[in-house]
Structure 1
Amino acid sequence: MRCHTTGELDMQNEMEADNPAAVVHHSASSSGAWRSLVTGIVGGFAVDAVRPGKFRGELRRFTHEGVDFLHIATGSHLARRDEAQVAAEPRSDLFLNLQLEGSCRMTQNGRTEELQAGDFMLCDAARPGEVLAEANHRSLSLRFPRELLGIPQGYLEQITAVRIQADTGLAPAVGAFLLNLHRTIPDIGLQGRRAAVRHLLGLAGAMVQTQLETTGTRPQLDPQQALLERIDGYIEKHLSDPALDASSIAAAHFISYRRLHSLYEGTGNTVAASIRARRLERCRQDLADPFLAAIPVAAIAGRWGFGSASHFSQVFRGATGQTPAEYRQLQLGTRMSA
């Protein structure tokens, strides 16, 4: 495996695009080089070290369809991310951090906690924060789009920078899965990687949800936001029902259609568009799942509430530019019959 310095980042990015299954190894021999390296990969940070010229840092990165596995080993340092650096970052992802060796102190959303080996912590790239790492620090971080975790934003604000202890809840299972997948994922085929990453994120979401329930953490939501989240939950639960629409949702929550429409105005979306987008996403997942390759497209459409195969095909093509059969064939790499 070849090591790359920060001066080779542009060439390295091209290599990753050409070979997405490669593990890329970066190294830095000063705190300034480490700052440049981290900024180029995970966004802007200021880095301070006691002996800047003696600092050593290594980062191994594997990327799969917008999800990064980041193995980090460094000396003692303080990394800070301020409002200006947050504003300059186009991605607002989440980081699920697993402490492997040493300890570190993380601060975000007014909370500060110390992680020991085996502990997890969820951090938000869209918020300022800081990490104080001790000598011989080693961690494994999973970076991913926030919507993949399946936790409402109000709850995320309450759980970021909260220590999830190594021996509680689902932490041991998530830790073992993450470590094993990190070790083996470069050698797994594309379909296997997709399935494994999807299951890992599902398990991580369950771990975070369990932590919320265990600690009694609840978001401070205004009544309108609380109602909107209840409606979102109702839509998820009834997504497979072809009769699900704005009128039935309004009736189920004892509000008028106009009131429902005004709730969604603040989200930049409509009720119908939200239902359609969620149904399409579930269908895309099923069409790309090799375990469901024998299920007809019409059955998948019906499973997620589309009333007819022709209507589903029209909506799907309008959203993706492909028919469902073409999308399935491309994702699975095999000619499938619709």
Structure 2
Amino acid sequence: MLSSADLVRKDQALTSFNRWSDDLHSICGSFNPRRMDVSTDIRGEARRINACGMEFAHVSNDLDRIHRDWDDVRRDAVEHLFLIVQLEGSCGVEHTGRQSTLNVGDCILVDSTRPTTFYFGGSYSNHLSMHLPRQLMYSQGGDKFDVARKLEAFDPMAIMLRALVAKIMATPESDTHAASLRQLMFNATRQAFISEMEAAPALEALGDNAVRRLQMVDVLIDQHLTNAHLSAKWLATRVGVSIRTLQQHFQGMGMTCTTVIRDKRLRFAREKIEQIQAQRGTQTIAEVAYAAGFNDVSYFNRSFRELFACAPSDLLKTSIQKKTAL
């Protein structure tokens, strides 16, 4: 994979800053690039690669840095975990309070729901980012992922992940083993980055810091997303505050706890519907709704249409029609 002509090129074309930024936004969401010299174009590109039913971002540049803050996180409707493999050069990564330097072959897991800064300092860097649906990754169990932990290039898990990424990129979506290969990728990433911490930090340590409290709530929502007991009241009890205090925290972000839970469940349901069509499954929309934590199918359909501007059945039909046309 590291020597692929499509990923590592001897002559990198120059791309205008605005074009490069627009391409990055369309693929990865709200990230803010900063140049070393405002008068020059960028050496590199940001492009989408679709392979084996999975999406990648191939990002090369000689920028100063790329930053994503809390406002950028809130603007993005889609949530991913980004599995990043460094192909050329190096870059610094600051994420969840941890700092790492990625060299060729190193891997790291980044959460799109957290602020992130990539540092390049004007030196050329080239990496590949696999987009893993966040809710699907967390829905398989109560495991917590150790995001921002770097796997060195020689680490056996990093070697395995690079091999799987290379295999996925060489496998068409129509391949009979594509669905199994995707699932293997999900499972391998879970095993590679499962948290080594035996337990989450004590809740008492959060004090009155609303931001850290909301971060804990976000993890709890992901871990218990499809459980019937998940509610604002349950979350408030878990973090040791009143439901009124918790709601005030969310109001400060311009949302409510109930809305956050609902929208996360809807995104999870959408991923499940797309998974059904990819694997030609027979699960019904109602079954998806119940599996996502909804107990009212009519409410689920209405909420789904409000968030995605289409009915869940329309999404499934459209996906099936596209596959039939192919």
List alignment gaps of at least 5 residues for structure 2: 1-5, 25-31, 38-42, 139-143
C-alpha separation in 2, matches of 1:83 and 1:309: 39
Q: Which of 326, 332, 338 lines up with 2:314 in the alignment?
A: 326
Determine if contact 2:225/2:293 at 8 Å carries over to the other structure. Answer: yes
Q: Is the 8 Å Cα contact of residues 65 and 121 (structure 2) preserved in structure 1?
A: no
Judge conservation of contact 2:250–2:257 (CA < 8 Å) in 1: yes
Alignment partner, residue 172 of structure 1: 159
The alignment of Structure 1 onto Structure 2 pairs a total of residues equal to 288
Pair 1:258-2:247 in alignment: no
Q: Residue 23 of structure 2 contacts residue 47 of structure 2 at CA under 8 Å; is this kept in 1? A: no
- Given candidates 284, 289, 303, the residue that maps to 1:296 is 284
In 2: Cα distance, 1:168 partner to 1:273 partner: 41
In structure 1, C-alpha distance between the alignment counterparts of 2:176 and 2:34, rounded to whole Å? 34
- Residue 131 (structure 1) aligned with residue 120 (structure 2): yes
Change (3 A) 1:138 1:269: closer
- Does structure 1 residue 81 correspond to structure 2 residue 65? yes
Following superposition, the deviation at residue 258 of structure 1 comes to 0.9
Distance 1:240 1:306 in 2: 8
Match of 1:188 in 2: 173
Aligned residue in 2 for 1:239: 225
Say which one has the larger Rg: 1
Residues 176, 313 of structure 1: alpha-carbon distance in 2 compared, 3 angstrom cutoff: same
CA 1:149 to 1:80, structure 2 compared with 1: closer, same or farther past 3 Å? farther
Residue of structure 1 in register with 2:141 after alignment: none
Structure 2 distance, partners of 1:29, 1:327, is: 38
Structure 1's 196 and 267: CA in aligned 2 closer, same or farther, altered over 3 A? farther
1:6-38 C-alpha deviation (Å, 9 max, x unpaired): xxxxxxxxxxxxxxxxx89988568xx367585
Native 8 Å contact 1:25 1:60 kept in 2:
no
Pairwise CA distance, 1:230: 3.3
Higher relative contact order (CA 8 A, sep 6+): 2
Unaligned runs of 5+ in 1: 1-22, 49-56
Q: Which residue of 2 aligns with 1:51?
A: none
Call closer, same or farther: CA 1:319–1:193 in 2, change over 3 Å: farther
Any conservation in 1 of the 2:21–2:33 contact (CA below 8 Å)?
yes
Aligned Cα RMSD in Å? Answer: 5.4
- Displacement after TM superposition at 1:149 (Å): 9.8
Tell whether the 8 Å contact from 1:100 to 1:139 is kept in structure 2 after alignment.
yes
Write the distance in 2 (CA, Å) between the matches of 1:265 and 1:62: 35
Cα deviation, residue 285, structure 1: 1.7
Q: SS where residue 289 of structure 1 aligns?
A: helix
**Alpha-carbon distance in structure 2 between the residues aligned to 1:281 and 1:196:** 23
Q: Which residue of the other structure, out of 302, 309, 312, is the alignment partner of 1:314?
A: 302
Measured in 2, the distance between the counterparts of 1:41 and 1:193 equals 27
CA contact (8 A) 1:280 1:316 kept: yes
Residue 282 of structure 1: aligned partner = 268
Q: Distance in 2 between matches of 1:221 and 1:181?
A: 41
Number of the residue aligned with 2:40: none
Deviations 1:144-181 (A, max 9, x none): 59967979xxx99x965x64212336322211111222
Structure 1 distance, partners of 2:245, 2:84, is 40
Alpha-carbon distance, 1:254 to partner = 4.7
Q: 1:326 to 1:25 in 2, by over 3 A?
A: farther
Counterpart CA distance in 2 for 1:289 and 1:132 is 40
- Relative to structure 1, the CA distance from residue 106 to residue 294 in structure 2 (aligned partners, 3 Å threshold; closer, same or farther) is same
Partner residue of 1:230 out of 192, 200, 216:
216
Does the 8 Å CA contact 1:240/1:303 hold for their aligned counterparts? yes
Distance 1:71 1:46 in 2: 15
Secondary structure, in 3 states, of the residue corresponding to 1:311?
helix
Identity %: 18
